[in-house]
């Protein structure tokens, strides 16, 4: 309690000058924040301030698709870790999140997937009017520049460039042939009428380089005089007058500043940070806040709860031929990428995948399996000398729920993340089925000319119990945390269907945290859709 008070007094004392005012202030220039900044400033009379804790993002590894894992644990990464995970032998899992203009879309694996149409219909069934698939499809299309052209499901001319891959490794071709061998149908478009099946992924790239939300939305909008972008500005607290948000306090270059929002303050800091910022501001579970020294301003028990993520495990093999991406880091390949924007460095590593139902009777796929023609263990940070390939079975309909809570009242301390992976038998069962499926694919004829030793789990691990043990030792995040400020009407809902924080005027949350349930697929395109829809609601005064 005393520490919390001391922190706020210190900030108040170092505050400089008079605060400026804007119509809208957006916290976080990630996937959602870039969309909001661009769309809200289309009306040149609307003054917008965009705060971003990270920097501009000039690193070449942001541009080069195959280099994304080189961004991990660098200055563009929040570099979070979970608390010891109770069902994973108390391991702390590394959680990368983008801290740079573009946010996580500047460090992600670029896979363009929307999830299953049933995901959005379910959101609507929970009481969120306007969020059914038919109602959100126009926003997916509005955001998109689909290089294959416009169709019932796709748009052209939007800021998100969606491309077919420029480079496909021979091992990925073998993977696709293997899926056919074991009877998995080819899917011409994961974002079309059906989700099941196998295919090359489409990617958020343009001319063979990453195309983040900052590239598509923010950079063109920065020319507008009504948009102020402040990189290196870390929001520390929502300024409240009674039950109305009137602005934000932030730190820039070690100096405490404030800005006023005449219209609204919009939190777009992502699943970890938006819930943290609400709690730092006294908006959250009152009893919990008190115990960390924060005076509760508004009791909202759901803040930080309902955390969901897609867990993944890497099933890896040695490759008997030197053709994988493991040998791709050469000067020749770099020059090839630099000049022609193709070759192995244009690969997003997870080049292909499939969606599948592991049990009969399921209405939708519960498993996504990614394939990478490379060694990918420990987030690509563990390297081997040999050439390898690997499968990433991923649970896309998790039952496990975790939570985010404050560790302290200091806004610069990371919050406590408890993902609670594999806390239900059903989640474990699906992951075990995923490991078995990876092995079936690896033993298909198409891999005969490439398959070497199984590195992990290792051929000796065959029983369900042994595979479960492998999962407890090796499971990682597929980087899709959502849900900590969920949209809804129940007691744990944080925002309403217009993404306005329940009980606080002038405050919205617009990012991955508002998802009531994680979609069955990668989350970047859904976040961008959410921000497109939110921007339209805000502009319409809704």
Ligand X SMILES: Cc1cc2nc3c(=O)[nH]c(=O)nc-3n(C[C@H](O)[C@H](O)[C@H](O)COP(=O)(O)OP(=O)(O)OC[C@H]3O[C@@H](n4cnc5c(N)ncnc54)[C@H](O)[C@@H]3O)c2cc1C
Catalytic residues: 480
Q: Which among 182-190, 228-236, 325-333, 534-542 is the span making contact with ligand X, rule CB under 6 A? A: 228-236
Q: Which of residues 272-331 bind ligand X (CB under 6 A)?
A: 273, 277
Using a 10 angstrom Cβ sphere, with 0-12 exposed, 13-18 middle and 19 or more buried, the burial of residue 296 is middle
Q: Is the dihedral of CA 129, 302, 536, 397 positive or negative?
A: negative
Q: Three-state SS for 92?
A: coil
* β partners of residue 145: 161
Residue with the closest Cβ to ligand X? 30
Q: Which of residues 167-186 bind ligand X (CB under 6 A)?
A: none
What is the nearest approach in angstroms of ligand X to the Cβ of residue 261? 14
Nearest-angstrom CA–CA distance, 332 and 225: 42
Nearer to ligand X, 416 or 444 (CB): 416
Query: Burial letters for 212-246: b for 16+ Cβ neighbours within 10 Å, e otherwise?
Result: bbbbbbbbebbebebbbbebebbbbbbbbeeeebb
DSSP 171-222: HHHHHHHHHHHTTPPB-S-TTSS---EEEEPPBSEETTEE--HIIIIIHHHT
Q: Three-state SS for 407?
A: coil
Pick the binder of ligand X from 36, 53, 265, 535 (CB under 6 A): 53
Under rule CB under 6 A, residue 524 binds ligand X: yes
User: Roughly how many angstroms between the first and final C-alpha of the chain, as a whole number?
Assistant: 38
Under rule CB under 6 A, residue 404 binds ligand X: no
What is the nearest approach in angstroms of ligand X to the Cβ of residue 462? 31
Query: In 10 A of CB 536, how many CB atoms?
Result: 14
Pick the binder of ligand X from 57, 65, 98, 365 (CB under 6 A): 98
What is the nearest approach in angstroms of ligand X to the Cβ of residue 267? 9
Q: Which among 158-166, 298-306, 356-364, 519-527 is the span making contact with ligand X, rule CB under 6 A? A: 519-527
Q: Which of residues 66-85 bind ligand X (CB under 6 A)?
A: none
What is the nearest approach in angstroms of ligand X to the Cβ of residue 181? 26
Q: Is the dihedral of CA 197, 397, 509, 107 positive or negative?
A: negative
Nearest-angstrom CA–CA distance, 416 and 421: 15
Under rule CB under 6 A, residue 51 binds ligand X: yes
Under rule CB under 6 A, residue 65 binds ligand X: no
Pick the binder of ligand X from 111, 404, 501, 507 (CB under 6 A): 111
What is the nearest approach in angstroms of ligand X to the Cβ of residue 274? 7
Query: How many H-runs (helices) and E-runs (strands) does the chain carry?
Result: 14, 25
Q: Which of residues 421-480 bind ligand X (CB under 6 A)?
A: 479-480
H-run or E-run covering 19? none
Pick the binder of ligand X from 63, 99, 341, 508 (CB under 6 A): 99
Smallest CA-to-CA distance from 400 within 32, 93, 80 is with 93
Nearer to ligand X, 231 or 301 (CB): 231
Pick the binder of ligand X from 39, 166, 210, 234 (CB under 6 A): 234
Under rule CB under 6 A, residue 237 binds ligand X: no
- Would you tell me which residues interact with ligand X (CB under 6 A)? 27-33, 51-54, 96-99, 103-105, 107-111, 113, 233-235, 268-270, 273, 277, 479-480, 511-512, 522-525, 527
């Amino acid at each position: 309690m005393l520490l919390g008070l001391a922190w706020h007094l210190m900030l108040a004392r170092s505050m400089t000058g008079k605060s400026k005012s804007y119509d809208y202030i957006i916290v976080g220039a990630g996937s959602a924040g870039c969309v909001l900044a661009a769309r809200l400033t289309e009306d040149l009379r609307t003054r917008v301030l965009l705060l971003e804790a990270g920097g501009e993002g000039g690193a070449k590894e942001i541009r080069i698709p195959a280099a994304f894992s080189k961004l991990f644990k660098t200055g563009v990464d929040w570099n979070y870790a979970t608390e010891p995970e109770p069902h994973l032998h108390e391991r702390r899992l590394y959680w990368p999140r983008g801290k740079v203009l573009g946010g996580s879309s500047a460090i992600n694996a670029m896979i363009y997937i929307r999830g299953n149409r049933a995901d959005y219909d379910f959101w609507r069934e929970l009481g969120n009017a306007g969020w059914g698939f038919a109602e959100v499809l126009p926003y997916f299309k509005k955001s998109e520049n689909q290089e294959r052209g416009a169709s019932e499901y796709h748009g052209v001319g939007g800021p998100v460039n969606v491309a077919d891959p420029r480079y496909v490794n021979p091992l990925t071709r073998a993977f696709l042939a293997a899926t056919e061998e074991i009877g998995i149908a080819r899917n011409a478009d994961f974002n079309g009428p059906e989700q099941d099946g196998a295919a090359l992924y489409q990617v958020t790239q343009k001319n063979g380089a990453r195309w983040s939300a900052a590239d598509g939305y923010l950079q063109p909008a920065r020319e507008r005089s009504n948009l102020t972008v402040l990189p290196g500005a870390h929001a520390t607290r929502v300024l409240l007058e009674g039950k109305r948000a009137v602005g934000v306090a932030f730190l820039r270059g070690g100096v405490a500043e404030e800005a006023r929002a005449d219209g609204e303050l919009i939190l777009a800091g992502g699943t970890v940070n938006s819930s943290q910022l609400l709690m730092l501001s006294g908006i959250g579970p009152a009893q919990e806040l008190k115990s960390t020294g924060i005076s509760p301003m508004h009791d909202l028990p759901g803040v930080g709860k309902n955390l969901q993520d897609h867990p993944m495990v890497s099933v890896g093999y040695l490759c008997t031929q030197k053709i994988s991406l493991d040998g791709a880091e050469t000067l020749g390949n770099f020059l090839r990428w630099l000049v022609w924007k193709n070759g192995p460095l244009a690969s997003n590593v997870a080049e292909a995948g499939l969606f599948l139902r592991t049990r009969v009777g399921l209405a939708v796929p519960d498993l996504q399996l990614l394939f990478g023609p490379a060694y990918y263990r420990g987030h690509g940070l563990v390297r081997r000398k040999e050439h390898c390939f690997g499968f990433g079975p991923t649970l896309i309909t998790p039952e496990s729920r975790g939570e985010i809570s404050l560790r302290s009242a200091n806004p610069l301390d990371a919050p406590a993340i408890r993902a609670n992976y594999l806390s239900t038998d059903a989640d474990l069962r699906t992951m075990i089925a995923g490991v078995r499926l990876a092995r079936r694919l690896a033993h298909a004829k198409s891999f005969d000319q490439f398959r070497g030793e199984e590195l992990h789990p290792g051929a000796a691990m065959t029983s369900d119990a042994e595979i479960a043990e492998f999962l407890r030792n090796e499971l990682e995040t597929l980087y899709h945390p959502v849900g900590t400020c969920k949209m809804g009407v129940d007691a744990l809902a944080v925002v309403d269907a217009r993404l306005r924080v329940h009980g606080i005027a002038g405050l919205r949350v617009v990012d991955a945290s508002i998802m009531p349930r994680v979609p069955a697929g990668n989350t970047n395109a859904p976040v961008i859709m959410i921000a497109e829809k939110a921007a339209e609601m805000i502009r319409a005064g809704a």
